[in-house]
Structure 1
Amino acid sequence: MTTTTRTLRRAGFATGTALALGTTVLAATPALAATLGDHEISGVQFVNDDCSRNEYAIQADVTGTTDDVGGFDRVRFEVWDDGTLKDSRILEVEVGTTRELNAFLSFVGLYGTGAPGVGIVISDVDADGDVVGTLETVDPFYPDDVDGPCTFDVERIGGPTRIETAAMLSEQKFVMADTVVIATSTTYPDALAAAPWAAQLGAPLLLTTPGGLSAATRDELLRLAPDDVYVVGGPAAVGGQVLTDVQAALPGADVERVSGPDRYGTAGEVAQRVVQDSSAELFVASGQDFPDALVLSALAARHQAPLVLTKHAEVPPETASAVAALTFDDVYAAGGTTVLSDDVLDDVSLGMPWTRYSGPDRYDTAEAVLEQFPAEGKVMVATGQDFPDSLTAVPVAARTGAGVALTRPDAVPPGVLDEVERLVTGFSFPLITVVGGELAVHDTVETQLLGLVGGLADPASRSSGGLTDRNIGQG
């Protein structure tokens, strides 16, 4: 596996539960802290015996006031349980603007122990992540208890078809979603480009057949009841009947098609809708084959960066037009020179430095990309033989902080397995999610993954925090 960085200098180029259910404590907000406007916290706790999987979605209108880094103000969202910080996300909003931020926090733990509920904290932080001021504290916040799937260590989410797997991922990992993104299940390019955008919108990526809305997708739309639905791809990829079916299922929703004249134009249209943060980056993938691009899409989603498609030896005009309208300082691509030539990366980067992640095969390339993810105790594993399960996992992975690892159907390649182990080692309650049914990912893969966490103690004996009277620890 290889990570290649190249800098080319050219002249002429410029670079569901309301807040009222918890005790809200508003701290005195410093004059230079971001402004927190309308916001909503929804939470679900899936309970199965003593196991509980907690999922929290926070939607907040935030106005940037202080330049923490590159003209952006930074805000951190946290969930605490029994004195232990369980999950956190730092999001950014451009100074002088107001944006709706979507933060998703999750953890797996024991049910019915310690302090009631959880603690939610929203803070203004500086460039180093240090707290400048607390914008909101809710402790306890009570999620809705729902009987549902909860598994320690290794879980599988997979249906009999790719469309049903996407719907199951949405059902189990999205407490709520005001927006949903839909793409075709038959080809990969539209879903590949749409996944980072869906992640930023806090939206699941659902799949459909080209000729009409699939039943599993329709059922999930009815459950979520979103206000906005974006159908990504032209009429050849997703026919007009799909939009008609979506509108019939959700009469009050705004339904919009996002497309270009071809896959490159569609990717360019989507890329321009991604709101970049202070680290202005561009991700580039092949529009002619999918394996190397799968994990790169997850990395783009994590970095809140657009992803465009190009050909092996030529930058399509639609891609060139989209790139010219974007601002970026660094470019990242996946695949060797037989997938994307150096000249193409030189052209698409417009003189900015570019980095290539590559290896002898798709799994080595995936390993090189996976190395860029920090260890946060979560990882999603999907087949590298086909695209749908991996791509629909991307918005979920971005929400939960997980990396996406590719596996062969019958075994995880050694290098990828090492990276999965790195991502989950040292956490009391890690969660490895296998995406796809047993035809896509055999049970032998589950056995391998269980071996990574086999040394953990019985769940009841694992550390889950020490406080019993409150959730938020004293920093």
Structure 2
Amino acid sequence: MKKKNFAYVAMATTVSATSVLGYSTNVSSAESLSYFSVFFTSNGKPFMEPFLFEIWSEGKIIESNTIRKGMLFKELDHKKTYTIKVSNDDKQWTSKEYEVTFKKNELNSTIPVFKEVGSDVFLDSENPRIEIIKKENKTDSETNVPGNPIENDSSIDKDKKDSTPKENMPNKEVYLDSLKIRVLKNNAPMTDAKLSFSEIDMKAKIQLPNIIQQNIPVDEKGEHSFSGMKPNTTYEIRVNTKNIKLDRESVRFSTDSNKKIVVVDGLKVTNANQGTFVFKAVDKNDTSFKTVRFDQLDVKDKDGKPVEGVEITANTISPNLASYKNVKSDKNGKLIFELEGSPEGRPYTLCVSKNAQFEWEFKPDSIDIMVYSNGHVDVLKSNNNPNTSKTFIVTRNDVTYLKKEFKDKIEQAKKLINSPDYTEASKIALKKALTASEEEAAKPETTPFYVKIFINKLDEGMKSLVKVNNTKPKDPKDTKKPKDTVKPNYPKDSKKKLDNPTSKDSKKTQIKSSRIGGSDRIETSVLLSKQKFTNAETVIIASANNFPDALSASALANKYKAPILLANHDKVSKSVLDEVKRLGAKKVIVVGGESSISENVANTLKSSVNIERLAGNNRYETSRKIAEKLMNNGMDKALILVDGRNYPDALSSSALVHKNNAPILLVSDTADARENIEFAKKSNRLPKIIVGGTNSVGKDIESQVSNTTRISGTDRYETSRKIADMALSKGANVYLSTGRNYADAVASGGVIALEKSSLVLVDENNSNISNIKNKFEPKSVTVIGGVNSISNKLLMDLIK
């Protein structure tokens, strides 16, 4: 009786970036190298016996290895063509020969393509399997023909075997006219199961299912038969019923030119038994499956200290590479999994979960294990983990801002596609990139690796746009300018450093640059604090959704050398709570009334720190109470008057706070602000610095107060530059923020005060960049916000 086996080929490089996603990519230092991994199995189970495996190229064997532990990881030149197979020298096993080539998918990632030598059969790129057949014992004079192995039939007497007709030899073409699906739940027919039937374009760069029919019912036996397929087509069947767990995700099958089914689930049809395929289901929360406790792994930082709260995913390898179970490290850094095993061993690949990859860098990229039903677990050697390490070494690297950047980029692409300003022909590339990006954004999980790829694709599509009745503009200086897609390096704590140009002509460039930006304004405030404050006795909490309070609070930050952290109305994020704890704060000043920051937020903070609330009935009264408090505590050298209705001037004014040791007072010609004007009038002896033009702080207000100086420009950008002229000294660190919204820099007041710096507002067209370079000669520049706010191109123009 013959014994059949197959190899599962996982097209992956590192689980962290690619294997969980199902594709390989070029991550080697050599530009033309790509990885792929092969997992050998027997009847869908890991195949653990040793055997010889060969890789050929250009008519020569380039590698021959004994495979143990059922795995092979290999790096190949994706510009070449290869043949892979079990070696003819192996005494027990053989296989078909498969030609391996590589192609680019829609995301510009390199994926392998497997084609059976001598036929037009292609393996499923997402789940390719190579059939392995146990050899029949032969005399020394017999020659094995590659791709046509002699099978071992144990029902035939060994002494008569050579003279017995081998009717079951695979020389005879076998095919199926139909495929029957049977769905069982707890080993009984699942009569309410629903199936979906899709067609797969195997020639497409990304093989996405094109649903032909869904919600297909099964009969009383839990069965449904599929027939009448098209020629040379690949199909996929899935069980779509909710709230169940399945032993596999799908089955794929392919037809030949005669509409016959010749490949089922990656295996070439060799007998009629392959015409029935069974899905086994249990309830989603079913715990009847026997699991094995696995607690050998832990998570540590680079100094060997345990790290709590890092989420690790155990990914199943067969029948498909897919997330199976997530576990977070405990306070001792330990990971405790409950995983299903099997007598032959069930393989899993463990890595930092997709969503957690936005917060952590980690090594090794993955740890492969084999789980046996008897409770034994092996940690396996692999390219990603050659030393069979049982520890993930992690470094905090928060790039959650990429998620928002990705969403914003999608919205920008939609607007451009709907714009009549560009030719339809030039929109094609952007439309394709947008379709793929929206599909990725709709998934419950993704990774920074993929998000960056999609952002770059969208950028490329935007650059290809051509205006109607106009050729694509060509800038003769383009060859001298860095592209807008310059990628920053991302060290820990999400401070993205951009390398300065390194050409021969750039030796005089001394300006260092960095970028601080979180997934939203709250996370940006946390990152600003992490980057600039090692500790702080006082922390200021202000509303993330009400800019006046946070801007008035910049004077408090100056007085108490405190960071400003943001919170939503009724909830303070865990990251903010963690930051307050990290800083060792003893006191929190909540700025704003309960309409801005609820008592629930204050109560959440009370357990660990003392709380003081500075609040009025409106923004103007709140700013006045802050000013009164500070002036009574020695911050009384001047008074800064800014428009309480708009943010740009108040954002820039944070530099005047530390320069003049003065609080900010919000004013306007509204009734709510009358008492503030009276307060300013009573402060006769103090110089009054009015920020902004007369459209912001009117002449009628100026005429009511004495001893005034106005700082204003033709727009918010010139006003911002003039403030920097007063506050900055040469060689200082300059902070940049967009002048289009306040979200990025609303919490920057604490950092500006701490470093005696200035916040300069910029956009893509204003002249502040050249002024910064020429006048202030800064040693460093820090951008607050993502590339949608201030592009890498603009930053590179500044530092080059």
TM-score, structure 2 normalization:
0.35
**2:517 aligns with one of 149, 153, 158:** 158
Indicate the residue corresponding to 1:308 in structure 2. Answer: 665
- Give CA-to-partner distance per residue, 1:346-367, whole Å, 9 cap, x none: 22x2xx2211122222112212
Structure number with the bigger relative contact order (C-alpha 8 A, sep ≥ 6) is 1
Aligned-residue offset at 1:368:
1.9
- Give CA-to-partner distance per residue, 1:341-397, whole Å, 9 cap, x none: 1111222x2xx2211122222112212222112324211101111123323222211
Question: 2:547, 2:671 → 1: CA distance?
Answer: 20
Question: 2:635, 2:556 → 1: CA distance?
Answer: 17
Indicate the residue corresponding to 1:393 in structure 2. Answer: 748
Distance verdict in 2 for CA 1:229–1:175, change over 3 Å: same
**1:433 aligns with one of 770, 782, 789:** 782
**2:549 aligns with one of 183, 190, 194:** 190
Contact kept in structure 1, 2:635 and 2:662, CA below 8 Å: no
Indicate the residue corresponding to 2:606 in structure 1. Answer: 247
Aligned-residue offset at 1:297:
2.7
Distance verdict in 2 for CA 1:294–1:442, change over 3 Å: same
Q: Which runs of 5+ in 1 are unaligned?
A: 1-145, 452-475
Indicate the residue corresponding to 2:638 in structure 1. Answer: 281
Indicate the residue corresponding to 2:717 in structure 1. Answer: 363
- Give CA-to-partner distance per residue, 1:392-413, whole Å, 9 cap, x none: 22221121121110112xx262
Contact kept in structure 1, 2:551 and 2:749, CA below 8 Å: no
**2:701 aligns with one of 341, 344, 348:** 344
Indicate the residue corresponding to 2:619 in structure 1. Answer: 263
Question: 2:575, 2:557 → 1: CA distance?
Answer: 19
Q: How does 1:87-98 map to 2 (within 5 A)?
A: none
Indicate the residue corresponding to 1:224 in structure 2. Answer: 583
Indicate the residue corresponding to 1:374 in structure 2. Answer: 728
Q: What SS does the aligned partner of 1:274 have?
A: helix
- Give CA-to-partner distance per residue, 1:34-74, whole Å, 9 cap, x none: xxxxxxxxxxxxxxxxxxxxxxxxxxxxxxxxxxxxxxxxx
- Give CA-to-partner distance per residue, 1:213-235, whole Å, 9 cap, x none: 12221221121121110000011
Contact kept in structure 2, 1:197 and 1:273, CA below 8 Å: no
- Give CA-to-partner distance per residue, 1:70-113, whole Å, 9 cap, x none: xxxxxxxxxxxxxxxxxxxxxxxxxxxxxxxxxxxxxxxxxxxx
Q: What SS does the aligned partner of 1:391 have?
A: coil
TM-score, structure 1 normalization:
0.58
- Give CA-to-partner distance per residue, 1:243-292, whole Å, 9 cap, x none: 011123x2xx2111110111000000001122476972110011111112
Aligned-residue offset at 1:423:
5.7
- The question of 1:296 aligning with 2:649 is answered no
Per mean C-alpha deviation after superposition, the further-off stretch among 320-329 and 372-381 is: 320-329
Indicate the percent of aligned positions where both proteins have the same amino acid: 29
Contact kept in structure 1, 2:654 and 2:758, CA below 8 Å: no
Question: 2:770, 2:784 → 1: CA distance?
Answer: 19
Q: What SS does the aligned partner of 1:302 have?
A: helix
Contact kept in structure 1, 2:735 and 2:758, CA below 8 Å: yes
Which residue identity lines up with residue 365 of structure 1 in the other structure?
T
Per mean C-alpha deviation after superposition, the further-off stretch among 381-390 and 322-331 is: 322-331
Distance verdict in 2 for CA 1:193–1:327, change over 3 Å: farther
Contact kept in structure 2, 1:193 and 1:308, CA below 8 Å: yes
Distance verdict in 2 for CA 1:193–1:279, change over 3 Å: closer
Which residue identity lines up with residue 737 of structure 2 in the other structure?
A
Indicate the residue corresponding to 1:421 in structure 2. Answer: 773
- Give CA-to-partner distance per residue, 1:177-216, whole Å, 9 cap, x none: 0000010011211011111111221000111111111222
Which residue identity lines up with residue 441 of structure 1 in the other structure?
I
Contact kept in structure 2, 1:370 and 1:419, CA below 8 Å: no
Distance verdict in 2 for CA 1:218–1:311, change over 3 Å: same
Which residue identity lines up with residue 203 of structure 1 in the other structure?
A
Q: What SS does the aligned partner of 1:200 have?
A: helix
Which residue identity lines up with residue 176 of structure 1 in the other structure?
N
Q: What SS does the aligned partner of 2:585 have?
A: coil
Question: 1:257, 1:389 → 2: CA distance?
Answer: 24
Question: 2:685, 2:774 → 1: CA distance?
Answer: 30
Question: 1:321, 1:212 → 2: CA distance?
Answer: 36
Aligned-residue offset at 1:326:
4.7
Contact kept in structure 2, 1:271 and 1:322, CA below 8 Å: no
Indicate the residue corresponding to 1:167 in structure 2. Answer: 526
Contact kept in structure 2, 1:284 and 1:310, CA below 8 Å: yes
Q: Which runs of 5+ in 2 are unaligned?
A: 1-490, 498-510
Q: What SS does the aligned partner of 1:217 have?
A: helix
Distance verdict in 2 for CA 1:326–1:256, change over 3 Å: farther
Which residue identity lines up with residue 344 of structure 1 in the other structure?
I
Q: What SS does the aligned partner of 2:747 have?
A: helix
Distance verdict in 2 for CA 1:388–1:199, change over 3 Å: farther
Question: 1:435, 1:328 → 2: CA distance?
Answer: 37
Distance verdict in 2 for CA 1:439–1:150, change over 3 Å: closer
Question: 2:684, 2:535 → 1: CA distance?
Answer: 32
- The question of 1:443 aligning with 2:443 is answered no
Question: 2:781, 2:662 → 1: CA distance?
Answer: 25
Indicate the residue corresponding to 1:402 in structure 2. Answer: 757
Question: 1:439, 1:150 → 2: CA distance?
Answer: 15
Q: What SS does the aligned partner of 1:211 have?
A: coil
Contact kept in structure 1, 2:677 and 2:701, CA below 8 Å: no
Question: 1:174, 1:278 → 2: CA distance?
Answer: 22
Question: 1:314, 1:422 → 2: CA distance?
Answer: 44
Contact kept in structure 2, 1:376 and 1:401, CA below 8 Å: no
Aligned-residue offset at 1:173:
0.0
Question: 2:766, 2:758 → 1: CA distance?
Answer: 16
Which residue identity lines up with residue 621 of structure 2 in the other structure?
G
Cα RMSD between the aligned structures?
2.4
Indicate the residue corresponding to 1:333 in structure 2. Answer: 690
Question: 1:205, 1:412 → 2: CA distance?
Answer: 30
Contact kept in structure 2, 1:196 and 1:297, CA below 8 Å: yes
Aligned-residue offset at 1:328:
4.2
Aligned-residue offset at 1:293:
2.1
Aligned-residue offset at 1:150:
8.9
Deviation above 6 Å: which 4+ runs of structure 1?
Answer: none
- Give CA-to-partner distance per residue, 1:405-456, whole Å, 9 cap, x none: 0112xx2621x2233224642x6xx1111111222222222222222xxxxx
Contact kept in structure 2, 1:268 and 1:323, CA below 8 Å: no
Aligned-residue offset at 1:147:
7.8
Distance verdict in 2 for CA 1:423–1:195, change over 3 Å: farther
**Equivalent residues, number:** 294
Contact kept in structure 1, 2:630 and 2:636, CA below 8 Å: no
Distance verdict in 2 for CA 1:215–1:419, change over 3 Å: farther
Q: What SS does the aligned partner of 2:680 have?
A: helix
Indicate the residue corresponding to 1:25 in structure 2. Answer: none
Question: 2:765, 2:581 → 1: CA distance?
Answer: 36
**1:354 aligns with one of 692, 700, 708:** 708
Question: 2:595, 2:496 → 1: CA distance?
Answer: 39
Which residue identity lines up with residue 625 of structure 2 in the other structure?
E
Which residue identity lines up with residue 734 of structure 2 in the other structure?
V
Contact kept in structure 1, 2:512 and 2:799, CA below 8 Å: yes
Q: What SS does the aligned partner of 2:553 have?
A: helix
Question: 1:161, 1:241 → 2: CA distance?
Answer: 22
Which residue identity lines up with residue 729 of structure 2 in the other structure?
A
Contact kept in structure 2, 1:282 and 1:328, CA below 8 Å: no
Q: What SS does the aligned partner of 2:546 have?
A: coil
